[in-house]
Chains A and B, each alone.
Chain A
């Protein structure tokens, strides 16, 4: 049984007196333990709605969401579900509940009823992981945009969930900071088998996942590995872009130099080099 399972999920938001806005339509998604999945799609395609469904913040109108076999519609299971799934929401300000950064990060572990020493250790570790130790005593309202995001991520890390959902959680970070956070998440994924569902607008980031799911106007239109980039239409039809190395490779091909479809910056360099060396400059 998949760890996270969305089966035929429909979800609509009420709008005005009698109107509805359909956000998700017959969505089927699985995330296995230890998997690293990227979720991409245009603005308004339903990604955040899906994130809210994962931990039972909202429940589907049709179909079912289960976490480790427990349906999110079962209110008595919500406590257990939120131990297993941690969601970093898109807007960090909505999550700050207390006045000091370290208390904010301790909120989750405290709710789990952990002993104080364990809480202390988790909070310190989480803050260190996101580079915010020196701000432990600051008020969350006194932080810059990127610092708030780091604190929100630490708050979920401290819960040590089995699945971490990141909804554009690094959108306000500098490139270095984004890399650092991604590395922390990847390390937990590798060393502690934490599953990750990462919502992102950066195709280069999505390319680092084991699997990429594309949402388009509320429906899943593709679900597969990096090789999806070899069929660029699935991205462009959904209004998405391609990683920069894939785009440059496409442009080279259009000008008569075919290096295939590189799936990382390194592959790009290797492919260009091989091609240039192979041609021996005698073209």
Chain B
């Protein structure tokens, strides 16, 4: 479980460039959550989650972050242990890549965990296949010579090979093609069986609505609230108050409701929309 209490963060403090990115954030992420974080450009989403594996350190007198019983505001932290537990895929994961072949890159995490070479390799192979890349074709290539979407997949594989308990994904499907997006989300659900807690930042409301059980809305460094998907997307008031857009499916449902058809405005799933339309037309 991750527990954030009264967390603030200032970039470049005590300089003319100082920017306060977080203002007294409180949020609890429970084991087993598929936790969504949404909010406009610059809201502080990446800054918040980068605390979870201590990439960003809790500043002095700026609140606390606990990962289970580990206090991340403590001076001394076992970073190796923390980062094996909390896997993080960055917003621009292409910068996570560094080795001269894809395979070596993905093996780096397991190697750092002190695993035997065989195990490093087998984990790398499994992870590369898991993210939908052809191992034989790609293992020996340089990660820098891949297309944008291919690089993102390799970066995800690198984190998965560590077998983390908590996985933090900063816009995991940005830059992935549409079918790949769907497959990646299915994959993440699969991963959830062994890595039960997933935290996902996304601008894609359809993904957020379909997969997350709880959603935190960030706005200019503060938490506007934490909601269940239907609670949020079914309430015009909340959406307006939080400045959140509708999932595309919900937009269709609302469009139909506005046109006078008897349809629930909080529909967040395509099949559900199909059933509701058929029912309205007495096809069902």
Contact = CB atoms under 8 A, between A and B. Distances in A.
Interface of A: 13, 15-16, 21, 41-44, 48, 90-91, 93, 138-139, 142-147, 150, 168, 171-178, 201-204, 239-241, 244-245, 247-248, 251-252, 255-257, 265-266, 268-270, 272-273, 275-276, 279, 281-283
B281 interface: yes
Contacts of B251: 265
A144 B41 contact: yes
A48 B256 contact: no
Interface in B165-179: 171, 174-179
Top 4 closest A-B pairs, CB basis? A43-B149, A146-B41, A241-B178, A175-B245
Contact of A201 (B17, B175, B206): B175
B109 interface: no
17 contacts: A41-B177, A90-B175, A138-B19, A139-B17, A146-B41, A172-B41, A174-B40, A175-B245, A241-B179, A241-B181, A244-B252, A244-B270, A255-B283, A257-B283, A269-B252, A269-B255, A272-B259
Contacts of B145: 13, 15, 21
A248 B141 contact: no
A42 B177 contact: yes
Interface of B: 11-12, 17, 19, 38-43, 46, 91-92, 94-95, 140-141, 145-150, 153, 171, 174-182, 203, 205-206, 243, 245, 248-249, 251-252, 255-256, 258-261, 270-271, 273-274, 277-278, 280-284
B182 A144 contact: no
B182 to A, nearest CB: 7
A245 B277 CA distance: 13
B190 to A, nearest CB: 20
A276 B281 contact: yes
A145 B41 CA distance: 7
B173 to A, nearest CB: 9
A172 B91 contact: yes
A79 B141 CA distance: 34
Of A143, A178, A255, the most chain B CB neighbours within 10 A belong to A255
Contact of B273 (A13, A248, A279): A248
Contacts of A16: 140
Given A43-B148, A145-B46, A168-B148, A257 B179 contact: no
Contacts of A204: 248
Contact of B141 (A15, A91, A145, A283): A15
Given A43-B177, A283-B281, A91 B255 contact: no
Given A172-B174, A202-B178, 17 more contacts: A44-B146, A44-B147, A48-B148, A91-B148, A139-B17, A146-B42, A168-B175, A173-B203, A175-B245, A177-B40, A239-B177, A244-B249, A247-B270, A248-B277, A252-B274, A256-B278, A256-B283
Nearest to B255: A269
Contacts of B38: 174
A42 B133 CA distance: 13
B203 to A, nearest CB: 5
A139 B177 CA distance: 31
Nearest to B140: A16
A248 B181 contact: no
Given A43-B148, A244-B252, A272 B261 contact: yes
Nearest to B260: A273
Given A177-B41, A201-B181, A240-B179, A257 B148 contact: no
A174 B205 CA distance: 9
A257 B17 contact: no
Contacts of A142: 11-12, 17, 19
Given A90-B148, A177-B40, A252-B277, A42 B179 contact: yes
